[in-house]
Structure 1
């Protein structure tokens, strides 16, 4: 099996796992969401640091934080991905998996808009049209559901901001992600100690400190680090072997599976607003993907000539 095929299988597997995430985090819906997030972050740090230690690269973390500009990018990325992780867990716990999947559909189009606003990246007419379709879809969801789909927008925004902070970070994916969870990991540990020994509660007011009360819940909380780490490592493996445009197209496997899980596993209702807005988002994604593939091929042709 050649390397591109291995990369393709790896990115498909990563998106399959991400798509099935709601089923996993639903097992912890009896645990306060901030506590679940804290465990996910802490055990992710444990896993990623272990991988770097096995590779003999743990000392490279100091180099990541040595450069001032990189250090602030890592801190910003850490806060952004933390927001994304937390709101996803919260969305699953309150039965809003469909809204979460819509957020990951919206994300590429929000990222394009953010690239234009922050980095003056030029958008093609098709990309502008794709953004317009997504904006109209959000308006339709807001009017149809009677409430702004803030979870969808929050997930998309945090992920887009995360990508913006990652620009300019030259460290490899495993090293940079380890640095990010290293920023939030100590805060997560402090929260867990407060929950267990000081009776802290999050905004839900639910009693926590569930780790250690039964082996099943404790094992699921610990495994959250592995569940987080494995698809990220698969994705980083694929990124070195598969073209960026291919990865971009396959990214939509994740929210599609999440949407199916929301409907078939959790029984969430597809409203008329969803039936109008989702095709608009999908059509926008088709336009965006087609434009991205065209730009990628054009850049490759120019590079080949020169």
Structure 2
């Protein structure tokens, strides 16, 4: 029964792991411009779909919110704004770290993120982990320590990127009754409004090449809207900590592509660390299966 939720998460993170296929052709453009146009196009598409094809769901969501007790409604609105701020912060910090600190620090942040997501889910949502699952988290943390030996100075910046996304992901569990498409639309609208002032201050000249807009459209639809909706759907059936661990599929696929497709230099330490992460994913999900089987007895 839960297989569809696992599948949604696996597809989402696998797609993000292949992000390099659409980012590499745009490497001549400033990173902030890619971010701005990605978000603005995503918002435009989602608003158009809502207004043209999902008016019923908009009305149902409006009625749902109006029928909630005032305190709960206010809490949901505040959480929507806060999660949008976390999403904006994540994307902004990622661009800043990539442009001004190092690409390695930006990539490393998404190795720390699953661990922080699991810890945040434990503290905020009271999601309980089995000893086997905690063991897998320990293995993941050990792999991250291995990879951080030569990049200790960048660790703080990586934590900023990872922490903001971990909080965003965990908060989504609070929106179980809200239409996921409407929720994501609202979050992206707020994110776009937050980023708008930065667009007018740091964006470059308006891109003229059609290639730029073709790839931005692919990124907006295939690498933003669809995987984020899949993430929200997955959270309906699996825990935030499980989703967090599955997030490792993203950097693992990126690592494999770097090694075998882009022919980048890979160290023995990296091979060991990523192998440990792969083992941790398997152990964590064995723990999830055993926990679920015990609960169904």
Aligned-residue CA RMSD (Å): 3.6
Gap runs ≥5 in structure 1: 195-199, 202-206
Q: 1:14 to 1:181 in 2, by over 3 A?
A: same
Tell me the SS of whatever aligns to 1:244.
Answer: coil
Identify which of 118, 125, 129 aligns with 1:123. Answer: 129
**1:298 Cα offset (Å):** 2.5
**Does the CA-based 8 Å contact 1:64-1:179 persist in structure 2?**
no
- 2:284 partner SS: helix
Q: Which residue of 1 aligns with 2:226?
A: 230
C-alpha deviations, 1:25-71, integer Å up to 9, x for none? 22222332222212111111112222222122345665688721111
Q: What CA deviation, in whole Å up to 9, does each residue of 1:171-221 have, x standing for no partner?
A: 1221111110011122334433x2xxxxx32xxxxx71233x222223333
User: 2: distance between equivalents of 1:116 and 1:18?
Assistant: 25
Match of 1:216? 211
Change (3 A) 1:110 1:77: same
Distance in 2 (CA, whole Å) between partners of 1:6 and 1:167 is 17
Tell me the residue number matched to 2:174. 168
1:31 aligns with 2:29: yes
| Cα distance change, pair 135–13 in 1 and its aligned pair in 2 (3 A) | closer
In the aligned structure 2, how far is the partner of 1:61 from the partner of 1:83? 26
Judge conservation of contact 1:80–1:162 (CA < 8 Å) in 2: yes
Residues 73-92 of structure 1: pairs in structure 2 closer than 5 A: 73-86=79-92
Equivalent residue for 1:244? Answer: 238
Q: TM-score, normalised by structure 1?
A: 0.74
Cross-structure match for 1:55? 54
Deviation at 1:259, TM superposition (A): 1.6
How many aligned positions are there? 284
CA 298–97 in structure 1, closer or farther in 2 if over 3 Å, else same: farther
Q: Secondary structure at the match of 1:277?
A: helix
Residue 65 and residue 81 in structure 1: after superposition, are their counterparts in 2 closer, same or farther (change >3 A)? Answer: farther
**Could you tell me how far apart the structure 2 residues matched to 1:94 and 1:293 are?**
42
Structure 1 distance, partners of 2:277, 2:167, is: 20
Instruction: Give the match for residue 204 of structure 1.
Output: none
| 1:161 to partner: Cα distance | 0.8
When the two structures are superposed, what TM-score results if normalisation uses the length of structure 2? 0.76
Task: Tell me which residue corresponds to 2:191.
Answer: 184
Runs of 5+ consecutive residues of structure 2 not aligned to the other structure: 67-72
Q: 1:152 to 1:268 in 2, by over 3 A?
A: farther
